[in-house]
Structure 1
Amino acid sequence: ALTLGFNLSAQTLSDPQLWDFVDSVIEETGAPHSGIGFEITETAAVTNFDAAEQFVRKARERRCRVGLDDFGAGMSSFEYLRRFPVDTIKIDGSFIEHITQSRFDREIVLAITSIARSLGCDVVGEKIERQDTLAMLSDMGVAFGQGFLLHQPEPLERIVARATKGATARKAS
């Protein structure tokens, strides 16, 4: 199933009309809430925690997925974990890209993975560009990945066409 993900800045999280917009898009497209995910960008400082907590609560009520993006790169990672009940933690690529050479980066990734798994969160490794990096992350229990090794960027139109073709094929069978 195709999941549509949106990165949200701290400023966007504070927009009182955000859910009106999201609900109208869902209604227009017929997309299931479970197929929509939001990523709170860890590098953008959240200044209005009440608004952000309210957004996360509404997302969870609608069965949308919520994740922390760029985890470990910002200033308030653990505060975000404490305040936002998220489904996914995406480990920042700065810890991933040299993981095969850097003991420090390996230990950081292991620690984040352990915390995420103990909280019941999926773990995503960003910036996977080499096979040895992918193998090491897999051995560490990082079940999901993102990066050029796994898939090159492509135009939205091509992604939509492939998803539509897949949905049509499933309906026919």
Structure 2
Amino acid sequence: MPGLLLGDTFPDFEAETTTGTIQFHEFLGDSWGILFSHPRDYTPVCTTELGRAARLSDEFRKRGVKMIALSIDHLEDHYGWTEVFIIGPDKKLKLSFLYPATTGRNFDEILRVVDSLQITADRRVATPADWKPGDCVMVPPNLSEEEAASLFPEGVYTKELPSGKKYLRYTPQP
């Protein structure tokens, strides 16, 4: 989907699926969604990805995430994924991964990103590099010290930097 940018409303579409006809926005309802696309069915890398997604389906379900996959193949071929889009309950594009067909996607990373997106959508925080659920989160610099203290009663600490600037602030994950 060329031209689709983060924050754009994801297009609604109708599709014939292995479980019947769906209208994409209606299918999502108020849930988060992941739309996997892949070049063809029955290719080695895609097969490993679909298997991994199936094994993690309970983890996605716990997070209120609905998954759907599409390819260029006919519906009948699906019975017997190169881009990953994560769409929020507001139907806005939250993340797009682009992988080459020769490289399988990292589903632990997809779960980690869903966790981060859900926390940052509900709270005024950000997640740092290599963040994992349960780690401290970042307090954005646009929050005053007073506002941060009231929002994060477990405390806010600032990482000391050689520049002396105090913009790297952390708090326990709310």
Question: The TM-score by the shorter chain falls in which range?
Answer: under 0.3
Which structure has the larger Rg? Answer: 2
TM-score normalized by the length of structure 1: 0.25
Q: Which has the higher contact order (CA 8 A, sep 6+)?
A: 2
TM-score normalized by the length of structure 2: 0.25
Structure 1 or 2: larger strand share? 2
